[in-house]
Structure 1
């Protein structure tokens, strides 16, 4: 039988803040022609800031520079977008897109909600809007949100500490201002919970980002927006993005101050049937979540990672992903 018919449709998964690491995807620059051209175009569109980001990305110095949202977010976007366009050049045609945090803006760009020059301006505005945000952070907790949320001290919740992401059945991320997040961490540790700081200097997806989201919305409103040409599932609502939502600047901006419902969105997508889940971007965090889905566990869906975790071999992982996608009939020729 024709494996092109048998291959389940592709769902692209696009990672967000926390997946970044030094020189993520940089080994593909100069190795993969399309990746290189697209990444160069994106960085050029960012102007002087793009030159600074290029230096940081390719050299990996300063070592901790990539973890600040001012740097991590545009680089996460660029690496994922360039990798996705390289796969598209090879014939990959995703049936649906699902992004996590900044990955949702990448998904919108791939779907044609706005073009790459508009995306670069939107990303620049997003970086500028971070000046309206307090110093803060994010904290991964190995427990369900219903377990974690009641344990946030009332004074910390009033200051803006809140659930910032749901990445798995027992994978919750809190976000908020620095001091209050540290106090919450101490309470959770005292309760015997396992916690880990997410690498970021901003309290993304918490109420503390409300003013930054307002500034960001104004920038999105200045750009032309289109109905998506590829279906999107939102990690803001855990449902398909409607045409009305796609055209609404407030919809896209509000994800800065509202939680990322990635796991519920991934579950909703999986309930629609088997997929080839392809994580396009650094790390394997979204792929790890996808491997816990029912259709993957039963063998009707499969999971492919295109880039490695921090200590992995970038080119080897990329070539392995290309081979897997080609053997499943997802790539041309």
Structure 2
């Protein structure tokens, strides 16, 4: 592994990160040896998920992934895509438990797409049975609601180049779904995805169709998002025991977050994994361990930051040796500090300092304008008070919800309330007034400010 020259001397300063992989992190035979040897942790983890999955989906995960000749990823996607998602999730939770038994105490959890559910679960948000039920709800809703025929395509290029390809195709059914740094993923219907692959071929850009049963992180799943939020409202989260950073939200989860709404929002909101890794690296993270099968996320971290120390415990044949090595990497002196004492949000600075509570409207308007211009990649001058966000600029309700959430984070207003109607903020001027009401109103302006 690549290391910084002074890494050993400064090990006590390192933050350690447990990486929880998403949809594609299935490797035939992962944890099979431990299962066959009767490892209590692996057995208990899979059996608990089996019980929930059998009740809610009619399938057991272990019966598929631990059979004598486990199916390939392509075969599993074709025959049992629901089981594929459950296998990825359960393997990640089992790996985390195995590492914890060996003394691992990561400073931060970081999940990639579907991996955020495992990251939150292993941080204490839900017990395993509830988390498995949440995933089954997600699977059921997508099966019922998604008739798009969409899929996902990985491109071997950075975000800027991928965005140029998407802009060139100019099809609303194709969006940039994942920014991994050196790699991006576009999501959408079959026709524009085929066009994107053809353009990538002509430009000499590597591309791969992902093993995904749905066009995740795309507005095509808006109907599923609404239904999923309603179903997940019944699952009450507990306070997190470990900080969890979200590449979808661009911040740490907080106690009091509406996790049902946020997990549902994941279906239609892009993933910024590369920027999340870079933010944690800037905050002092130097050790990254992939808590799941394979080493896809570790490979991305290595490309982004060659100075990072990465370990993939389940990527090789000797899983016991891999787990021992990974647990050692996650056992730095910093991790002996109680979780409550580890700095969370302040470790990752906001691009611009939050405005004072006495900021006037003109100042607020300038700062909101800068945020919207950066997010939408429009010139700042187009954001006049009377410009229609959707009619004039194409900011749909999903993007507007995301932007309002970012404003809540940026100005300390909290998340928009569940009943907020984005249609009520159809002009840029109304958005500025929304922020001004919260900033100048303080705690008493909760309803107006989205607290």
Residues 1:151 and 2:180 are matched in the alignment: no
Q: Mean alpha-carbon deviation: is it higher for 59-68 or for 208-217?
A: 59-68
Partner of 2:28: 22
Flag the 1:92–1:162 CA change in 2: closer, same or farther, 3 A: same
Residues 1:57 and 2:68 are matched in the alignment: no
Counterpart contact for 1:21–1:67, Cα < 8 Å = no
Counterpart contact for 2:187–2:193, Cα < 8 Å = yes
TM-score scaled by length of structure 2: 0.65
Partner of 2:101: 89
Partner of 2:389: none
Cα distance in 1 for partners of 2:238, 2:65 equals 31
Out of 126, 135, 142, the position equivalent to 2:156 is 142
Residues 1:8 and 2:14 are matched in the alignment: yes
The CA RMSD measured in Å over matched residues stands at: 2.7
Cα distance in 1 for partners of 2:206, 2:329 equals 40
TM-score scaled by length of structure 1: 0.86
Higher RCO by CA contacts (8 Å cutoff, separation 6 or greater): 1
Residues 1:110 and 2:118 are matched in the alignment: no
Residues 1:161 and 2:174 are matched in the alignment: yes
Residues 1:277 and 2:288 are matched in the alignment: yes
The offset of 1:28, in angstroms, is 2.7
Partner of 1:35: 42
Cα distance in 2 for partners of 1:238, 1:14 equals 16
The offset of 1:78, in angstroms, is 0.4
The offset of 1:19, in angstroms, is 2.1
The offset of 1:202, in angstroms, is 1.5
1:79-117, Cα deviation, whole Å (9 max, x unpaired): 000110121122211211000011100011111122212
Secondary structure, aligned partner of 2:242:
coil
Flag the 1:156–1:287 CA change in 2: closer, same or farther, 3 A: same
TM alignment of 1:1-333, pairs within 5 A? 6=12, 8-31=14-37, 32-48=39-55, 49=57, 51-59=59-67, 60-61=70-71, 64-67=74-77, 69-131=81-143, 132-133=145-146, 134-152=148-166, 157-158=171-172, 160-168=173-181, 170-245=182-257, 247-294=258-305, 297=307, 301-308=308-315, 312-313=316-317, 316-323=318-325, 325-326=327-328, 329=331
1:244-265, Cα deviation, whole Å (9 max, x unpaired): 43x3421111111111111111
Counterpart contact for 1:156–1:184, Cα < 8 Å = no
Q: Could you tell me which runs of 5 or more consecutive residues in structure 1 were left unpaired when the two chains were aligned.
A: none
Cα distance in 1 for partners of 2:332, 2:98 equals 13
Cα distance in 2 for partners of 1:324, 1:74 equals 23
Secondary structure, aligned partner of 2:36:
coil
Secondary structure, aligned partner of 1:29:
helix
Flag the 1:201–1:156 CA change in 2: closer, same or farther, 3 A: farther
The offset of 1:63, in angstroms, is 6.4
Which of the two has higher C-alpha Rg?
Answer: 2
Cα distance in 1 for partners of 2:198, 2:94 equals 40
1:32-85, Cα deviation, whole Å (9 max, x unpaired): 331222122222222244644322212324863433642221111000001101
The offset of 1:279, in angstroms, is 0.5
Counterpart contact for 1:237–1:265, Cα < 8 Å = no
1:303-327, Cα deviation, whole Å (9 max, x unpaired): 111111xxx42xx044233135337
Flag the 1:112–1:327 CA change in 2: closer, same or farther, 3 A: closer
Flag the 1:307–1:206 CA change in 2: closer, same or farther, 3 A: same
Counterpart contact for 1:205–1:256, Cα < 8 Å = yes
Cα distance in 2 for partners of 1:194, 1:152 equals 16
Pairs aligned (count)? 319
Flag the 1:206–1:79 CA change in 2: closer, same or farther, 3 A: same
Flag the 1:99–1:328 CA change in 2: closer, same or farther, 3 A: closer
